[in-house]
Structure 1
Amino acid sequence: MNDTYKRAKLVEFGNQILYKKSLPEGLPLISSYAKDIIGADRCSMFIYNPQNAELWTTLADGVERIVIPADKGIVGKTLSTKEPIIENNVYSNTVFLVDIDEMTGYRTHNIITAPLFNNNKEIVGVLELLNKDGGFDNDDLKYMKFFSRNLSDFIDLINLYEG
């Protein structure tokens, strides 16, 4: 996929997300565009619950809600470091939660994550993409950061709109 196509898709995404007035309306759009532009198979968005020290999926392609301890897995590492992560061989990474693959029946090969921040710059969750043919790279990281910033902005706008 070339840069011209990706830029056109990003403009299209920006125009469409403006008309979404709730998380249930906007999340599938974000997932669809992120997967399309980056070339991933699945997308998940984990929300951080500091009271329970958990991360849970508000969006997870192909599975029901997933709940994990906030300090576990690659998503948990993203939460603690507040930095994106690329792992192209998840089973060689001791942090990877094999249990999730076993529970869902889905085989993860590679993963890219990006932290989600609120308008106070506090981490509120993690955006995750799974399984890109050939693995994820630094170009994908650039787009992942774009989507995580837009998702954070969208969540803040929805909170203002609903509040």
Structure 2
Amino acid sequence: MSEPSQTRDTAPDAQLERTPEELLRIIFDYTAKISGERSLKNVLLLMADMGREMILADRCTVWLIDRANQELFTTIAHGVNEIRIPLGSGFAGHSMATGESLLIDDAYADPRHNAESDLRTGYRTQAVITVPFLGNDGTMIGAYQAINKLTPQAVFTQRDLEQLKLAAAYAGKSLESVMLHEEIESTQREIIYTMGQIGESRSKETGNHVKRVAEYSAILALGLGLSAEEAELLRVVSPMHDIGKVAVPDAVLLKPGKLTPEEFDQMKLHTEVGYHLLKSSSRELLQTAAIVAHQHHEKWNGTGYPQGLKEDEIHLYGRITAVADVFDALGSERIYKEAWDLDRILALFREERGRHFDPRVVDAFMEQLPVLLDIRERFRDDLAAT
């Protein structure tokens, strides 16, 4: 439903200007919150809220540059969903192109105004402030934009502009830090997934095996009541569970028949190798991957390897990945066996509940089985291509 335009000097929500004490409280509150955030979306939302509260704007938008698509975009614009406009267009585009801040009383009297967003939403832009913000190296990152003043005068002042510049100067640096953090984590995720595929490819598994184990692990984590953040962490790191297989000789790894005791001892070493490959990193993703690589063959009753851990001595992530990995292994055709049918797999999990597997994880597995089967179908192996 479109939001009707209204004359701001008679708006029922018109307010008085902020006092210096109120401004200080807003700045201290929001800068503390922003400095502790590591989520880009949350930082952008806090920035928008801070700008809106500081200068009593009806809406505040944080624009960022998408250089790959030559666009400006915002996912944080009060009252609307994502907006994308061509790079250089509108007040935000002008500010970022020139480095100038803008203080506009009547948007529709200015030829730089891009009215497409108003046409889409039914909202009427009147007064506007736009302030570009830079990163530490002077690179343009984006722009703060405040729309429609909520005081009786209904226009922004030079004081408002200076206050928004202050907010942009601080928040721009924090935003750059969070963007860099997310870029590093994204790169780590790509590396972890690729390394997981390399580990599986040596044993002639398809890339879909690591995809399925990743998705199964996340669903089981959620089913056990873990947070969305923990489930996502496990989804990212679980593909590394068998990375240590890179050190297992082909004669053992690819043997079609039953392994001898000596060969099985060689195979078991992949848990130790994987752990030692990953354990030295200070990054949370790789530390967690090290735990999963090390413990996904431990058993609830203490008869697993390499450490013979039992029950809660085994990290929950290792217990979850164990169920996800075995479920996928049993249901997949491998060089040494045919795929099991579902009834046989479920019978094994019931039998091994409290022996091989954590009973709680097996219960979550049974509860989430329809979702897991849907994942298995979506990421089914293309046997003709293998």
TM-score range, shorter chain: over 0.9
2:25 is equivalent to residue 5 of structure 1: no
Aligned to 2:167: 147
Q: In structure 1, what is the Cα distance between the partners aligned to 2:137 and 2:100?
A: 17
Of 41, 46, 61, the match for 1:29: 46
Return 5+ residue gaps in structure 2 as ranges.
1-17, 185-386
Cα deviation code 1:72-91 (max 9, x no counterpart) = 11111111111111111011
Q: Is the 1:47–1:58 Cα contact (8 Å) retained in structure 2?
A: no
Tell me the secondary structure at the aligned position of residue 60 of structure 1. coil
Single out whichever of 11-20 and 111-120 deviates more from structure 2.
11-20
Tell me the secondary structure at the aligned position of residue 75 of structure 2. strand
Q: Is the 1:87–1:111 Cα contact (8 Å) retained in structure 2?
A: yes
Of 137, 148, 157, the match for 1:137: 157
Q: In structure 2, what is the Cα distance between the partners aligned to 1:71 and 1:27?
A: 21
* Residue 160 (structure 1) shift: 4.1
Q: In structure 2, what is the Cα distance between the partners aligned to 1:159 and 1:74?
A: 24
Aligned to 2:181: 161
Task: Give the 5 Å matches for 1:41-60.
Answer: 41-60=58-77
2:96 is equivalent to residue 79 of structure 1: yes
* Residue 53 (structure 1) shift: 2.2
Q: In structure 1, what is the Cα distance between the partners aligned to 2:46 and 2:108?
A: 30
2:109 partner amino acid? S
Identity of aligned residues (%): 28
* Residue 137 (structure 1) shift: 1.0
Q: Is the 1:70–1:79 Cα contact (8 Å) retained in structure 2?
A: no
Q: In structure 1, what is the Cα distance between the partners aligned to 2:98 and 2:181?
A: 30
Cα deviation code 1:9-50 (max 9, x no counterpart) = 211222222221211222222211211111001111111123
Single out whichever of 152-161 and 139-148 deviates more from structure 2.
152-161
Aligned to 2:32: 15
Q: Quick check: which has more Rg, 1 or 2?
A: 2
* Residue 57 (structure 1) shift: 0.8
Tell me the secondary structure at the aligned position of residue 127 of structure 1. strand
Of 121, 129, 146, the match for 1:112: 129
Query: Normalization by structure 2: what TM-score?
Result: 0.41
Distance 1:160 1:50, change over 3 A: closer
Return 5+ residue gaps in structure 1 as ranges.
none
Of 74, 88, 99, the match for 2:105: 88
Aligned to 2:86: 69
Tell me the secondary structure at the aligned position of residue 124 of structure 1. strand
Distance 1:135 1:20, change over 3 A: same
- Higher RCO, Cα 8 Å, sep 6+: 1
Single out whichever of 24-33 and 66-75 deviates more from structure 2.
24-33
Cα deviation code 1:79-117 (max 9, x no counterpart) = 111111111101100111122201111111111011121
2:38 is equivalent to residue 38 of structure 1: no
Single out whichever of 83-92 and 150-159 deviates more from structure 2.
150-159
CA RMSD of the aligned region, Å?
1.4
Tell me the secondary structure at the aligned position of residue 20 of structure 1. coil
Q: In structure 2, what is the Cα distance between the partners aligned to 1:115 and 1:47?
A: 10
Tell me the secondary structure at the aligned position of residue 96 of structure 1. coil
Q: In structure 2, what is the Cα distance between the partners aligned to 1:147 and 1:68?
A: 24
Q: Is the 1:84–1:112 Cα contact (8 Å) retained in structure 2?
A: yes
Q: In structure 2, what is the Cα distance between the partners aligned to 1:32 and 1:152?
A: 14
